[in-house]
Amino acid sequence: MSRTAILGAMAAPHVPVAFLTALKRGWKGRCPRCAEGALFGGFLKMRSHCPACGLVLEPYRADDAPAYFTILAVGHIIVPLVLILERYGNQPPLWFHALLWLPLSVLIALLLLPRIKGAVIALLWVHRMASPKPSTGGLDISP
Ligand SMILES: [Zn+2]
């Protein structure tokens, strides 16, 4: 983080952000606090802090939640379509189902995963549900 960004982050007043606003910003891959900085440095690689406002993002780790919600969403999109095709599509052969639904499932999952991860990070930030720092390997016996 640059010195200017650190000073900007320190000088920025804490402005409460509405739940849905933060969720939308996260869905778009933007910082839930300022909506300017990008949440991700790569496809799913979360930045350590917001490059625009300096919000520290490291404690808001989504872990497996985005994958879970993505699988849940893809299943709820694909399964009804499979059933509709099977019912009204003159029962196409299994190879047709595999050729259609497998790539479509992967495509939808790849489209949804970063959006859902951003929304989960925003959700964690809105509720200030920060995770403790990951263990450095040593046993922490401090009270
Ligand atoms: Zn920001």
Tens digit of each residue's pLDDT (9 = 90 or more) over 39-68: 999 999 999 999 999 999 999 999 999 999
From ligand 1's centre to the CA of 3, what distance in Å? 15
2 within domain boundaries:
no
CB atoms within 10 A of CB 54: 23
Q: What is the 3-state secondary structure (H, E, C) of the chain?
A: CCHHHHHHHHHCCCCCCCHHHHHHHHHCCECCCCCCCECECCCCCECCECCCCCCECCCCCCCCHHHHHHHHHHHHHHHHHHHHHHHHCCCCCHHHHHHHHHHHHHHHHHHHHHHHHHHHHHHHHHCCCCCCCCCCCCCCCCC
106 within domain boundaries:
yes
8 within domain boundaries:
no
If you average pLDDT over residues 110-128, what whole number do you get? 96
Q: What residues make up the domain containing 76?
A: 15-126
From ligand 1's centre to the CA of 34, what distance in Å? 4
Among 7-11, 50-54, 101-105, the range scoring the smallest mean pLDDT is 7-11
From ligand 1's centre to the CA of 21, what distance in Å? 13
Answer whether 113's CB lies under 8 Å from 44's CB. Answer: yes
131 within domain boundaries:
no
Flag whether pLDDT at 16 surpasses 90: no
pLDDT at res. 27? 97
| Tokens at 72, concatenated | 């849940």
Q: What is the mean pLDDT of the chain?
A: 87
pTM tops 0.95, yes or no:
no
Flag whether pLDDT at 141 surpasses 80: no
134 within domain boundaries:
no
Number of domains the chain is built from: 1
